Structure 1
Amino acid sequence: MTTVETRAERRAGPAELGRAQGGMEIRQFMRSREQVMFTLAFPAIMILVFGSIFNGEIGDGVKFTQYFVTGMIGTGLMTAGFQALAIQIPQERDRGVLKRFLGTPMPKWVYFAGKVLMVAFIALLETVILLTVASLLYGLKLPDTPEKWVTFLWVSALGITACTLCGVAFSSVARTGRSAPAVVTPVALILQFISGVFFVFTSLPSWMQTIAALFPLKWLCQGLRAVFLPASFGAQEPGGSFNLPMVAAVLAGWCVLALILCLTTFKWTTKRDG
């Protein structure tokens, strides 16, 4: 066996490269106590706070907690995908991590594969934590049919994909790593307030509902409400139903739009790097 053949055999395949990068990203995330606390604990803490304050019903026998948890799952997915990446990537760009990555023989897609696997891990772990806390402490009713679980899976998958791609695209907005949290956090908070996360969506002013309908979080939350709320509650949605086909169309549209923005605007280096 020649040396060339030996090296070829030892060369990692695409799947192995992606898994290795994803494992490294997850380990780095778990070592950051601040990131772990904010990303994983914050939504669960919000459920504890809101569940303790608002323990009544919002109509049709639906507890506020049952409604609120859909928004918090949506927020958790947005935090793991959009907010985390839109802050993390500029910081890595500032530290020269991306520039050094370009100097290696590693394909560019491996970097993004690692981020995707990290986001998927965080999103799954966070969702399990939220459902566990809400079920044990506030009697959250989990989906009771296979159809609802399927809806939960595809809504979550489309939602986290859209949020991840939006996070990568938005990472080019912040000029420096230090300014990234100040640029990204207000956007995330505003979207939460106007998308029916903290309040019943139809109780918001109509102009807020109109603006929220332009962004994926509103549709992600609407799709999750179709899973956790009774079918009769769909009549209280702005269009008179949960309108899952529109949920799928808008989230898929955002996936396409964000992917185009990623491909055309992503920056590997800062201006000072040339």
Structure 2
Amino acid sequence: MSTSLMTQGASRVGVETKTYFRAADTLFFTFLFPFVMLAIFSAAFSASGEVGPPGAEISIAALYLPAMLAAGIFLSGVQNLAIDIALEKSNGTLKRLGGTPLSPVGYFAGKIGQVFVTGTLQAGLLILAGWLVLGIDLPTDPAKWVTFAWVFVLGLTTCALLGIALSALPRSGKSAAAVVIPIGLILQFISGVYLQWNMLPDWLQNFASLFPLKWIAQGMRSVFLPEGWESLEQNGSWNLPGVAIALGIWLVVGFVLSRITFRWIRRDA
């Protein structure tokens, strides 16, 4: 990447991040939403006590922390960018940017960079809140944090590219939220985010395995849930090589689709 493109990208990261934190609806539904859901699940089901396989029981808060981290990755990348870019196409922002020296590479770098800045901040605060406020024990094995790092980076990159690609689906900016949010909610319910993974029927687990969120959630569970919980997974293991392969495939799919579908203006504009 040339120096000018790197400068463009770095400049756009700052612009995109400032815009993100100034939008109250985006801030709530992508950045704060996992915090709200973690608090709700922890409070609503705390009376049921600890859950899990014998000898590996944990609190409800500890169970939902990896799920909310996975949801945060998905919301920061897919939902945030799909809606945001669709709105920018609709209100003419992209058309105006297309008439400036800003290249698509610089634009993409700004969007993906913003996702990494806000996603990293969100994940860090979620983990900190879980530890300090909810009393969740964090992993002490360095290998667990290495797994967290690569699942997080691979998952966030994949979701960002898929968000760019999905932005081509809404027919207008007004319909963007109505199109994207239901897709996100369905995937979260079937991917082990809001519902405990082993409670889902096999056919639904197989269907969810076609999408990246299931694999991100599985990777996060492998980091934050104690030994014994892997027995509740579909194949009785965390299957981290499978997580890497599935996310790698979706990263390539997202990259290709984002290159094919991205336009400064809509084709029908």
TM-score, length basis structure 1: 0.92
2:150 to 143, 148, 154: 154
- TM-superposed CA distance for 1:128, in Å, is 1.6
- TM-superposed CA distance for 1:62, in Å, is 2.0
Q: 1:18-59 CA distances to partner (integer Å, 9 max, x unpaired)?
A: 111110111111111222122222111111111011222222
Q: Distance in 1 between matches of 2:263 and 2:202?
A: 37
- TM-superposed CA distance for 1:79, in Å, is 0.5
What residue number does 1:74 align with?
A: 70
- TM-superposed CA distance for 1:106, in Å, is 2.2
Q: Distance in 2 between matches of 1:271 and 1:148?
A: 46
Q: 1:195-232 CA distances to partner (integer Å, 9 max, x unpaired)?
A: 11112101012222111100000000000111001132
- TM-superposed CA distance for 1:272, in Å, is 4.6
Q: Distance in 2 between matches of 1:237 and 1:271?
A: 44
Are the aligned partners of 2:6 and 2:106 in contact in 1 as well (CA < 8 Å)?
Answer: no
What residue number does 2:130 align with?
A: 134
Are the aligned partners of 2:157 and 2:251 in contact in 1 as well (CA < 8 Å)?
Answer: yes
Runs of 4+ deviating beyond 4 Å: none
Aligned residue type for 1:131: I
1:177 to 166, 173, 189: 173
Aligned residue type for 1:151: T
Q: Could you say what secondary structure the match of 2:51 adopts?
A: strand
What residue number does 1:186 align with?
A: 182
What residue number does 1:230 align with?
A: 226
Moved more, 20-29 or 104-113: 104-113
What residue number does 1:64 align with?
A: 60
Q: 1:166-193 CA distances to partner (integer Å, 9 max, x unpaired)?
A: 1011110001010000000000000010
What residue number does 2:140 align with?
A: 144
What residue number does 1:213 align with?
A: 209
Count how many residue pairs are aligned between Structure 1 and Structure 2: 263
What residue number does 1:8 align with?
A: none
What residue number does 2:79 align with?
A: 83
Any unmatched runs of 5+ in structure 1?
1-10
Moved more, 24-33 or 73-82: 24-33
Moved more, 215-224 or 136-145: 136-145
Aligned residue type for 1:45: V
Q: Distance in 2 between matches of 1:90 and 1:40?
A: 19
Moved more, 60-69 or 70-79: 60-69
Q: Distance in 2 between matches of 1:272 and 1:166?
A: 22
Q: Could you say what secondary structure the match of 1:58 adopts?
A: coil
Q: 1:36 aligned to 2:27? A: yes
Aligned residue type for 1:58: V
Q: Distance in 1 between matches of 2:6 and 2:267?
A: 33
Q: Distance in 2 between matches of 1:272 and 1:228?
A: 47
Q: Distance in 2 between matches of 1:227 and 1:41?
A: 22
Q: Could you say what secondary structure the match of 2:173 adopts?
A: coil
What residue number does 2:43 align with?
A: 52
Q: Distance in 2 between matches of 1:251 and 1:12?
A: 30
Aligned residue type for 2:195: F
Q: 1:119-146 CA distances to partner (integer Å, 9 max, x unpaired)?
A: 0111011112211221122211212111
Q: 1:13 aligned to 2:4? A: yes
Q: Could you say what secondary structure the match of 1:138 adopts?
A: coil
- Using a 3 Å threshold, how does the CA distance of structure 1 residues 13 and 69 change in structure 2: closer, same or farther? same
What residue number does 2:88 align with?
A: 92
What residue number does 1:7 align with?
A: none
Any unmatched runs of 5+ in structure 2?
none
TM-score, length basis structure 2: 0.94
RMSD after superposition: 1.4
Q: 1:25 aligned to 2:16? A: yes
Q: 1:125 aligned to 2:121? A: yes
